[in-house]
Amino acid sequence: MPNLYDRLIIPEENRLTSIRKEEAEFLYDFLKDKDIKSSLEVWLAYWCSTCHIISATDALHYAIDPYQDDYGNIWLKNVRDSWLSDKLIFVKELSHNALPKLSEEWLELDFAFIDWWHKFDDIFIDFYYIDLMLVQWWYVLFHDNWMKSTKFNISWILNNKPNYTLMETNIDNLVLLKKDWVDNRLWSHFEDFSII
């Protein structure tokens, strides 16, 4: 969406906390022609990704972040000023608490964006629950691919979840995976993995 990024309030001293402009534009451009019915993201900061996702999809979007008070609740202005709040379901909880509840409600997702704590286990747990909710043929996007914890998670998925395909993003910091079919591995399945 033209100029959306520039209209958002992102304090200059915290600009690196937010996704960058080219990443936001990738999100918008990738999603705008897809028939997304519902999406989700974990970790919001200044809601730059949220605004671009909702603007592109015009669909229901779940946003999980318990720490918005730490960001001065700037999200309220960014989302409301962009006229996007009617498509937003804000979940002020830790993702490891919120995602199992959403899964129990049989939420189905067409797109998810993971940009939360960057410990291996946090990313792994977020992906585990998102995978349960992600509909066949749809996508999950990981941010901060410069971090080993993200790289190891991606490697585990590509080595152990043959139903996922790595897609091109042209942005080194983003990793996009497509879910090609529902998981049908044997109960004992495991493959070794290392950073790819």
pLDDT at 159 over 70: yes
For residue 196, the model assigns a pLDDT of: 63
Sign (positive or negative) of CA dihedral 162, 103, 105, 67: negative
Q: Burial of 61 by CB count in 10 Å (0-12 exposed, 13-18 middle, 19+ buried)? A: buried
Structure tokens at 28: 């918008």
- Cβ–Cβ < 8 Å for 6, 18: no
Q: What is the mean pLDDT of residues 54-70?
A: 89
| Distance between CA atoms of residues 151 and 144, nearest Å | 9
- The pTM (predicted TM-score) of the whole model is 0.91
pLDDT digits (tens, 9 = 90+) for 82-101: 666 788 999 999 999 999 99
pLDDT at 2 over 70: no
- CATH classification (class only), 22-179: alpha beta
- Domain boundary assignment for the chain: 22-179
For residue 20, the model assigns a pLDDT of: 86
| Per-residue pLDDT band at 59 (split at 50, 70, 90) | very high
CA atoms within a 13 Å half-sphere pointing along the CA-CB vector of 119: 4
Nearest to 3 by CA among 32, 25, 20: 25
